[in-house]
Chain A
Amino acid sequence: MIPSVFEYERATSIDDALAKLAATGGAGKLIAGGHSLVPLMKLRLNEPTTIIDIARIPGLAGVREDDGLIEVGAGTVHHDVATSAVLRDQCPVVSDTAATIGDPQVRNRGTLGGSLAHADPAADYPAMLLAVDAQIQLQGPAGTRAVAAQDFFQDLFTVDLGADEIITAVRFAPVRAAAYAKLYQRASRFAIVGVAAALEMADGVISSARIGLTGALSSAVRLPHVEDALVGQAPTAETASNAAKGAGTSLSDVNGDLHASEEYRRAMVSVFTKRAIEGALARV
């Protein structure tokens, strides 16, 4: 629990952060809340030569409405996501998901961008961002770009983020009929299985469905087979039950560990998919 030696610098703007990061020649790391990076440094699993503090960059934190979309700054701490009036009102699944992360101390320090950049396979946000079809906003030396959540989460601790880039925000169209359901790992409070469901209705039936899953595989994924089973169906408990049945059965390479075997996780994917759909239906 003793990190190796490192330098500390504080960035005053995104451009300043990018310049400082570039100057480390790939050996530096950005830090905001430090809730992913610091434990790794204390265990010497990650030994950056320089950490560049982006927590106080003006404008990096906060929830904004912009032309029908919602933008959450990457520096926003989980507590502020969980309690945002805009999110609670327009897209409560985002707040609900943040409220399940860690404990109050973690939620008061950990940030949205930090969680996404670290990409723990059991993190909560990725499932939710897949369900709301978010765009991840990035900035680098070459300018800005946006990556769809579906393309962003690639593998274990691996995302579409260059070593010279910084996550600035996530943007999404608010969706009310969405919910997140999670089986807690009791020690870490990460998800053994976490499922987010977002539904849209037209003419009394489900017209669109997006289901995001975390915890079960090496990275968060959508569950198209469940989505397909929902579209065109009436918003009933039976629909939820039918669509979720077997949600985990067809998945390959499901994680198994001390806390939950592969078989149990697979079964829990179905249980929590059903609960997430039910939660979303309750908001239709």
Chain B
Amino acid sequence: MAASPVLPKLVGQRVKRREDPRLIQGLGTYVDDIKLVGMQHAAFKRSDLAHARILSVDVSEAESMPGVEAVFTGAQIAEFVAPMPIGTPFPSPDHHAVAVGTVRYVGEPVAVVVATDRYVARDAADTIVIDYELLPAVVDPEQAMTGQPAQIHADFENNLAVALVPSGTGVSADLQTVDDTAVDKAFADADVVVSQRMYNQRLAPTAMEPRGVVAQYEPGKDTMTIWSSTQNPHILRSFIAALNGMGQDQVRAIAPEVGGGFGAKINIYGEEYVVAALSKRLGIPLKWAEDRSEAFLATTHGRDIIGYLDLAATSDGKVLGMKLQLIADIGAYNMLLTAAIPTLTMMMANATYDIPAIRTTLTEVFTNKTPTDAYRGAGRPEATYFVERGMDMLARELGMDPGELRRKNFIQPDQFPYATQMGAVYDSGDYEKALDLGLKNAGWDELKQQRDAARAEGRLVGLGLAMYVEVCGLGPSSSLPTGGWEHSQVTIERDGRISATTGASPHGQGNETTFGQMLADQFGVPLEHVTIHHGDTGVVKQGIGTFGSRSQAVGGTAIHLAGGKVKEKMAKFAAALIEAHEDDLVFENGRISVKGVPDSGKTFAEVAGYAYVPVPLPEGLTPGLSEEAFFEPANNTYPFGCHISLLEIDRDTGEPTLLKLVAIDDAGNLINPLIVEGQIHGGLAQGIGQAMIEEVRFSEDGQPLTASFMDYAIPRAADFPRFELDNTVTPTPVNPLGAKGVGEAGTLGSTPCIVSAAVDALSEFGVKHIDMMLRPEKLWRIIHGGQS
């Protein structure tokens, strides 16, 4: 008998993504690639005003156009589509999928056309005439809080979506009592206090694939299939079923290839509800594919939060207390998770530091802008930015090295699990180790010398450093209204191949590869023999989805547990076939055999075949090899790291150039370091984009000024230096894999370390803080004092 090839262990190896060959060859199937017999197309007529009363909507010309099946105004849609539900426990105004009575941001749908093709639908939508009464708009959240000049929702006085939520030291769990004694004492005892208003600007998530949805209601079966570019098909299914008066058993949701989400495809959108409801009402398959112009207006934006920070410390750099007052501009409506995102900023205000007293407050404000929701990092980059910029200002105030100031305040390794002032329990960490590796890899002292030498030549060069800790692996069900678990079913097919499902719905995270690596190792079979099924509620029984850097830590663990169950059963079949004891068996190199005696066993496929035709059936066993598992972690995970940057500013033009970026990230145990690096690269790109070139802007009357890639900049590969990545490994005790999650990490450390580098570069001009983005003109004005 020929010896079996020796299969290498794959977990921990740099395995190339199995997804990429099809994606880069154009062989993926995205929503807009789906074509069904009889399918029609929807187009939305959208508001071009930021705030107006709808006096009339004339659809007569659209209705008369050849190829137009139907036209619906918001009021007509509202007759059969209820206001959209949200996923947070905060009070929320009615939000109709298509506006009824009033429009509140540019891009809000006002009517919808159904036609035989996309072009006819768009032509018809263009003919719809809307008579508006213009209302005053408000785009500045602090102005909106005065209730002037616009009152956006009737029952939300002064445009307050969330009036004021306190958190931190001395705040009771029910938020009813607030004791300021400890915070006041910290500030009274302080030698130095730094205070700064900072703005974390509004961003457009800009996934390469815009949104899209196809719905097919089958009247004969009373079932609905909905394809959508979503991060969470199971959540989509629940909401679509509920709003269409159907059971979850009657709705199948499919997320085919999803070309990026970045948090903006968690939300269930009005277009999804409307397309599903119209497919049911009209009895036809219906498609809507968002175009890029719509995506800039109608896909949720991210961030847009003001932070007033006060940091109290002793003269030798021990932080005694912190106050952080947050004002979040959430735009015109509450979306699925909108109201919860800034609460994550509060939750992570403790950062990596052992701060004795913290008071945060949060106010959320409606404005006449596109609604916000999750965007990569979702609340945590904001916290990191505010606190780390504060630490940098404190270091500068005290004349301390920014690394040494942080070292003095770290939560220590022996303090974990560490209960923060903000109510989080950090699972594990060794922040000093990450700092030390960052300083070593960056060559911190040499960089300082380089910087000083460059300055001596008249160049404006600065160094920035930031630590971060984020909350990932969301999370126990107590922290997520959707449930905080993940599900998997692992099946050994009759031919010995492996099918596994995951409720995590990857859209760029590479889980077909990482989960495949895990199962290949678990069963000792080639990676090519494992298929990971995802993104289809008809195939994947249960799931939550992919967001909050949870797919590996939570979804990966469910796969691991389901695999373990089926392996146990398979070992029993193998034991019967080989006539050995199951505890003596090993699964390796495509065989199941007695440990140390490879020739003793059977091939994996032989044992699988036996399990499905079990003659004789071993006592106590049922046929088949398919097991499932739910996994709910007891806690979130808290990855962390240290980012360092070197940046130069052109004295004549104010243009900043990033010269160096060193990132140390600790995501616990890594399944595939290559994919982890890819995730960090993507996160860094978006973090650097925020720091340097990305910003959504509106005019005072609410007109979007950056609604295309001609005006909204996103970074290009050539804008970056070669990222210098490294990692420390501090496994989490929260799951058996020890994996923490890494998808958002790059967005956290990058923004403060780059802004701090810019402040350092311009220190000769006495500047203390610069709001993002680092617009060249802004920097030029600092350099030239506003003089040309």
A positions within 8 Å CB-CB of B: 1-5, 39, 42-44, 103, 183, 186-188, 248-249, 258-261, 263-264, 266-268, 270-271
Contact = CB atoms under 8 A, between A and B. Distances in A.
A264 B780 contact: yes
Contacts of A267: 780, 784, 788
Contacts of A44: 126
Contacts of A103: 716
Nearest to B118: A2
Contacts of B788: 248-249, 263-264, 266-267, 270
A270 B653 CA distance: 10
29 contacts: A1-B292, A2-B43, A2-B118, A2-B119, A4-B126, A5-B119, A39-B710, A43-B293, A103-B716, A183-B653, A186-B713, A187-B706, A187-B709, A187-B710, A188-B709, A188-B710, A188-B711, A248-B788, A249-B788, A258-B705, A258-B711, A259-B711, A261-B777, A263-B788, A264-B780, A264-B781, A264-B788, A267-B780, A267-B788
A128 B711 CA distance: 24
Contact of B293 (A1, A248, A258, A268): A1
Q: Which of A103, A248, A249, A258 has the most CB of B within 10 A?
A: A258
Contacts of A186: 693, 713
Majority SS at the chain A contact face: loop
Nearest to A261: B777
- 4 nearest A-B pairs in the assembled complex, by CB-CB distance: A1-B291, A187-B713, A267-B788, A186-B713
B712 interface: yes
B652 interface: yes
B335 to A, nearest CB: 23
A139 to B, nearest CB: 31
Nearest to B784: A267
A188 B697 CA distance: 16
Given A2-B119, A259-B711, 15 more contacts: A1-B293, A1-B294, A2-B43, A2-B118, A2-B122, A2-B291, A183-B653, A183-B776, A187-B713, A188-B710, A258-B697, A260-B776, A264-B777, A266-B788, A271-B653
Interface string B286-302: 00000111100000000
Contacts of B122: 2
Interface in B686-721: 693, 697, 705-706, 709-714, 716
B724 interface: no
Nearest to A246: B788
Interface of B: 43, 118-119, 122-123, 126, 291-294, 652-653, 655, 693, 697, 705-706, 709-714, 716, 776-777, 780-781, 784, 788
Contacts of A268: 653
Contacts of B706: 187, 258
A114 to B, nearest CB: 16
Q: Which of B292, B714, B788 has the most CB of A within 10 A?
A: B788
Nearest to A266: B788
B292 A271 contact: no
A262 B510 CA distance: 47
Q: Which of B43, B119, B777 has the most CB of A within 10 A?
A: B777
Contacts of B693: 186-187
A233 B713 CA distance: 41
B773 to A, nearest CB: 9
A1 B296 CA distance: 12
Q: Which of A1, A39, A261, A266 has the most CB of B within 10 A?
A: A1
B212 to A, nearest CB: 13
Given A2-B291, A258-B705, A183 B655 contact: yes
Nearest to B788: A267
Nearest to B714: A187
Contacts of B776: 183, 260
A5 B652 contact: no
Contacts of B123: 4-5
Contact of A187 (B119, B291, B293, B711): B711
